[in-house]
Amino acid sequence: MNVAVIGGGAGGFFAAINVKENYPNAQVTIFEKTKKVLSKVKVSGGGRCNVTNACLSISKLCDAYPRGGKKLKKPFKDFYTKDCIEWFESRGVPLVVQEDNHVFPQSQDSQSIIDCFLSACSKFKINIELGSAIEKIEPTGNKYQLHFRKSNTASELFHKVIIATGGSPKREGLKWLEDMGHKIEEPVPSLFTFNMPNENITKLMGVVVEKTLVSVQGTKLKSDGPLLITHWGMSAPAIIVLSAFGARVLHDLNYEFKTQVNWVNEVNNEVVKGNLLAIIDNHAQKQLSNFRPYDLPDRLWQYLLTKSEIALDKKWSELGKKGINKLVTLLTNDVYDVKGKTTFKEEFVTCGGVSLDSIDMKTMQSKVCKNIYFTGEVMDIDGITGGYNFQAAWTTAFIAAKLK
């Protein structure tokens, strides 16, 4: 049996290795369009590679995928985070779990994952062809012939083809799959930070607030968690998760909208007002600038007081009803203009791809082309940060490699 794997990234290598473990006599070739394999693995997690997440509940795991979560429920029963950790550790890559449940190689170096894959490819005699950008797959009898760009010669024939090309930022990059009859969901960016070029809050760059609630005005989008103020706008999980779940909505808004920040993660304004009144009762003679509610970062609190047009040296006892209402509004509903986005670190994740309607999720086989299989982000599956996108790649590759 001759098997082609299109794409030399995480999903492609994982699929190829598992095919050889399942079918030792199969001839397996990985075709990578660039001159370098596993480049995304190399830079992921700041060069440490966030292999997976230690979440052991399949239902909670599925919640981390804005697209594809429900459809991944059954695949995860075959291979999920626990299985992934065992897979790597049994092949000589010890892993560690951080406090936030992110899982990394013990070496804290993504090269450990790359070496594991390359070693397995060498052991199993898996061929790796670089500079092989796929142009089309042509059925020939009950086999497939691959055609590459910048090459006049067609490939040998393959019985099975696993497509692991990753996400495409533009629909044109998926046209060859659409031409085969697969339904395509329009690709748009996911996992990004918010640009706020006209907002003074960017002067507070570096300030982190651990518990916030962020929403997008005029939509149902909201997210909670840590928020980081940057020199261009806002970042950290509260923003990144919001960008993932709102990928299509925010794209349609052309990344121009108003975001509302609840700095204290308390939706009941009366509770916030009660806390401020308690401060007045207990710390009446203290200056506002010297006593921060909710343990807010000092720079942010000073900024919010200034934004409220409240004197920094005013005492809490002098705040008055009007001042209390101003602060409650600003603490729970601080509004900022967003104009544009910035890719989050090395996370270049795309929402969209081959529709899951075109794929049998039990086998990862195409519903329109027999013996064509899919793995990873080329499908309309994407997760939030924290190892979830790699886990989706490992799971779908593991199932595709059964070649059922």
Do residue 117 and residue 66 come from a single domain? yes
CB-count exposure of residue 141 (10 Å: 0-12, 13-18, 19+) = exposed
Tokens 């919640």 — which residue? 63
Domain boundary (295, 312, 343) is at 343
DSSP H or E stretch at residue 176:
helix 175-178
pLDDT band at 109 (very low <50, low <70, confident <90, very high): very high
Are residues 6 and 12 in contact, defined by beta-carbon separation less than 8 angstroms?
yes
> Could you tell me the CATH number of the domain that includes residue 138?
3.50.50.60
Total domains present in the chain:
2
The answer to whether residues 151 and 17 belong to one domain is yes
Are residues 388 and 260 located together in one domain of the fold? no
245 & 289 share domain? yes
Tell me the average pLDDT across 161-168: 96
Residues 278, 316 share a domain = yes
Distance CA(399)–CA(404), nearest Å, equals 9
DSSP secondary structure string for all residues of 297-342 = -HHHHHHHHHHTT--TT-BGGG-HHHHHHHHHHHHH-EEEEEE-EE
pLDDT at 126: 98
**Quick check: 283 pLDDT over 90?**
yes
Task: From 343, 360, 385, give the residue that closes a domain.
Answer: 343
What local confidence, expressed as pLDDT, does residue 152 receive? 64
Does residue 258 carry a pLDDT above 80? yes
Which residue segment(s) compose the domain that 387 sits in? 2-188+349-400
- Write down the pLDDT at residue 345: 63
Q: What is the pLDDT of residues 18-56, one digit of tens each?
A: 999 999 999 999 999 999 999 999 999 889 999 999 999
Q: Tell me the CA distances in angstroms from 360 to 74, 353, 376, 400, one per residue in order.
A: 11, 15, 14, 10
Within this chain, do residues 332 and 368 fall inside the same structural domain, yes or no?
no
- The answer to whether residues 339 and 223 belong to one domain is yes
**pLDDT at site 56:** 95
Out of 343, 362, 383, a domain closes at 343
Same domain assignment for residues 327 and 382? no
pLDDT of residue 155: 77
* Residue 319 shares a structural domain with residue 253: yes
Does one domain contain both 16 and 119?
yes
Q: What is the mean pLDDT of residues 189-208?
A: 96
What pLDDT score was predicted for residue 150? 75
State the helix-helix crossing angle for 10-22 and 111-124, rounded to 10 degrees.
40
If asked whether residues 359 and 339 sit together in one domain, one would say no
Q: Per the structure block, which two tokens stand in for 403?
A: 């070649």
pLDDT value for 346: 59
Q: Assess contact for 61 and 81: CB atoms under 8 A.
A: yes
pLDDT in tens, 334-379: 999 999 999 866 557 889 999 999 999 999 999 999 999 999 999 9
Token pair recorded at residue 181: 């009859």
Q: What are phi and psi of 283, to 5 degrees?
A: -135, 40
Same domain, 327 and 363: no
